[in-house]
Amino acid sequence: MIAKRGHYGAFLQEEWDLLQRMILLAHEKLSVPVTCKIRVFPEIDKTVKYAQMLEKAGCQLLTVHGRTKEQKGPLSGTASWEHIKAVRKAVTIPVFANGNIQCLQDVERCIRDTGVQGVMSAEGNLHNPALFEGRSPAVWELAEEYLDIVRQHPCPLSCVRAHLFKLWHHTLQVHRQLREELAKVKTLEGVAAVSQELKLRCQEDMSRQKEGEKPPGGLPFFHWICQPYFRPGPREGSKENGGARSKRALEEEEVGTDVLSKNKQKKQLRNPHKTFDPSLKPKYAKCDQCGNPKGNRCVFNLCRGCCKKRAFREAADCPGHGLLFKTKLEKSLAWKGARQLS
């Protein structure tokens, strides 16, 4: 929804003239090659024409994510390598594939089946950063390596926490109390301490493992081993939570019930008077141009950003936004006239 409101990403894929002009301009003005990454259309023919248009405009390397823009979250489904294969055959520039990559064998199979020159991975690589090495090491090995890198090259704690949630995903389904601790810690050393505790818990679980025992829950490996995460479909719900509903489902819970998402529960703890009743939420009129909330007293019925552009273009005033282009222009002309007379 952020990309849709912001008018970028896959939500530009129907505006071929705009994309063509953007890529052509970048191709002409930049000293580095222009690369593009796209999602597919449901129709293979349209996807191929789309790729050919980008190549003609100046794209010099194309990555094709084999899902449509509607395939996201619980509706992600399987990426279509058939679309990627068709694009690879139809263009002369290098093509990279994206989608369905959970292990090194998937990389090799994708290259073999589609003929692409390279492969990208997102979620698979986040859950197992050793994916392209063909390894599935103990989670703490990569968690410790990652934390060492963060100490050398600091970054926001939210990024560190997000990466560790991915790495420790399967273990946090077993040791749930540590999930809450990882979410609450406020320092890098606090995050490292939770990660260390998870390592100790895993080693205890390993020591209790019986010979011939298989991983529970249909996992390929035990939870302390880096491995892929398969997102449950919309009908499956969250099997990991014993059939509990997904976060999105909780957030869409009808008002009046006692069930709130974890995020909303935290907000309510900070502010006990907060309500999530949509009927009590303030209604904002939308800007006529971009859809953002408009200024209540704007003379053009626009948000501040759009209002500023129009007022500047038309040399007009908007007292509601404190924009006085017309007034300043008139004062400037009057001042210049007075100087000429003197």
Over its C-alpha atoms, the chain yields an Rg (Å, rounded) of 27
Query: Which stretches within 59-99 are classed as H helix?
Result: 81-90
Which amino acid does the sequence have at 280? L
Confidence of residue 259 (pLDDT cuts 50, 70, 90): low
Residue with more model confidence, 110 or 250 = 110
Confidence of residue 191 (pLDDT cuts 50, 70, 90): very high
- Residue 87 contacts residue 62 (beta carbons within 8 Å): yes
Give the lowest-confidence range in 29-43, 231-245, 256-270, 314-328: 231-245
Query: Which stretches within 283-324 are classed as H helix?
Result: 304-314
pLDDT tens digits, 135-183: 999 999 999 999 999 999 999 999 999 999 999 999 999 999 999 999 9
Q: What is the pLDDT of residue 192?
A: 97
pTM equals: 0.67
Domains of the chain as residue ranges with CATH: 2-121 (3.20.20.70), 139-207 (no CATH), 285-336 (no CATH)
Going by the DSSP 8-state scheme, the letter that residue 279 receives in this structure is G
Q: What is the pLDDT of residue 32?
A: 96
Token output for 199: 């390592």
Token output for 259: 């069930």
pLDDT tens digits, 29-39: 999 999 999 99
Confidence of residue 248 (pLDDT cuts 50, 70, 90): very low
For the chain, give the longest Cα–Cα distance: 102
- What is d(CA 269, CA 179) in angstroms, rounded to the nearest whole number? 18
Residue with more model confidence, 275 or 10 = 10
Report the candidate in 188, 108, 111 with the shortest Cα–Cα distance to residue 149. Answer: 188
Does residue 258 surpass a pLDDT of 60? no
- What is d(CA 158, CA 269) in angstroms, rounded to the nearest whole number? 20
Q: What is the mean pLDDT of residues 76-87?
A: 96
Going by the DSSP 8-state scheme, the letter that residue 138 receives in this structure is B
Strand duo 317-318 + 323-324: pairing = antiparallel
Confidence of residue 86 (pLDDT cuts 50, 70, 90): very high
